[in-house]
């Protein structure tokens, strides 16, 4: 066996939900670089088209699709319309940074609808199709907030923990049918979702210093984890949470003792 071939995605069809920006866009390009044909899906059609064009400019094969994952019919139509489906990666999420007792019911529902319900709808539709065909890899983005929280992150953290637990349930339920399901937990990544923090230097710096590596991640640094979980290199990996957090959850506290 040539172990390099374990990462080869040639002949595979991948769907990347949230491909219009940030982590999703980087992942779409990365999967294509390893040989996959990628459908770049996003709620914003223009950014989905731009992501597909970027993949093609790099020599890859891609098309674009518009989907609002909070809408059951749109998700079902997207999955059913895929000519083949070997890999699904889902990245979208939103956040409302407020103390839990100040979160309105509408704000709570908005975060739940996208982060939890939306990902459930994608898991269910893609899981059914992959189970029927007897193969496939599901890769959904959770977060370090599925493991640790801070003030203002209650609802977001709940959705990320929920995403992880649904992935674990899918791993148990669909494993016998040849389908793998895993989650990725980024730490702090420079994306549109974290622009609020980047615009406040003290907050941005504090997050960088919490990481063992002393910096934020770039979206491109999530690609390796996804390629691994999408490929045969992880053929015996399912139900896992792959932390890509620069050591955030490994390092205790925000103070370095005078050793």
What is the rounded distance in angstroms from the CA atom of residue 228 to the CA atom of residue 84?
Answer: 20
3-state class (DSSP) for residue 142: coil
Cβ neighbours of residue 57 closer than 8 Å, sequence gap 6 or more:
none
d(CA 89, CA 15): 6
Side-chain half-sphere exposure of 21, counting CA atoms within 13 A: 14
Count the Cβ atoms, other than its own, within 10 Å of residue 83: 8
Which among 3, 156, 204, 207 is annotated as catalytic?
A: 156
Distance (Å, rounded) from C-alpha 44 to C-alpha 65? 9
Asked if 3 is an active-site residue, the reply is: no
Distance CA 212, CA 70 (A): 36
How far apart, in Å, are the Cα atoms of 16 and each of 66, 108, 111, 218?
A: 11, 26, 20, 18
Determine how many CB atoms are found less than 10 A away from the CB of residue 231.
Answer: 21
> In 3D, which of 33, 9, 29 has the Cα closest to residue 21?
29
| Helical pair 22-33 and 223-230, crossing angle rounded to 10 deg | 50
Three-state secondary-structure class, residue 232:
helix
Q: List the catalytic residues.
A: 156
């Amino acid at each position: 066996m040539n172990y390099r071939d374990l990462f080869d995605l040639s002949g595979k069809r991948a769907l990347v939900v949230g491909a219009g920006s940030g982590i999703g866009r980087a992942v779409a390009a990365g999967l294509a670089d390893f040989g996959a044909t990628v459908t770049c899906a996003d709620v914003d059609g223009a950014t989905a088209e731009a992501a597909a064009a970027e993949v093609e400019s790099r020599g890859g094969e891609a098309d674009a699709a518009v989907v609002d994952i909070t809408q059951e019919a749109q998700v079902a139509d997207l999955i059913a319309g895929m000519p083949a489906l070997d890999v699904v990666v889902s990245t979208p999420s939103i956040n409302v940074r407020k103390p839990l007792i100040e979160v309105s019911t509408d704000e709570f529902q908005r975060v739940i609808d996208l982060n939890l319900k939306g990902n459930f709808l994608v898991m269910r539709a893609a899981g059914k199709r992959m189970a029927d065909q007897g193969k496939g890899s599901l890769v959904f983005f959770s977060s370090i907030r599925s493991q640790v929280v801070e003030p203002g992150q209650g609802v977001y953290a709940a959705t990320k923990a929920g995403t992880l637990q649904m992935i674990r349930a899918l791993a148990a339920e669909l494993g016998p049918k040849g389908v793998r399901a895993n989650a990725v937990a980024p730490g702090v990544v420079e994306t549109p979702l974290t622009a609020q923090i980047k615009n406040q230097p003290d907050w941005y710096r504090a997050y960088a210093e919490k990481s063992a590596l002393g910096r934020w991640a770039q979206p491109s640094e999530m690609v390796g984890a996804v390629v691994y979980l999408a490929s045969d290199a992880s053929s015996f990996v399912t139900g896992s949470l792959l932390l890509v957090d620069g050591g955030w959850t490994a390092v205790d506290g925000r103070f370095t003792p005078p050793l």
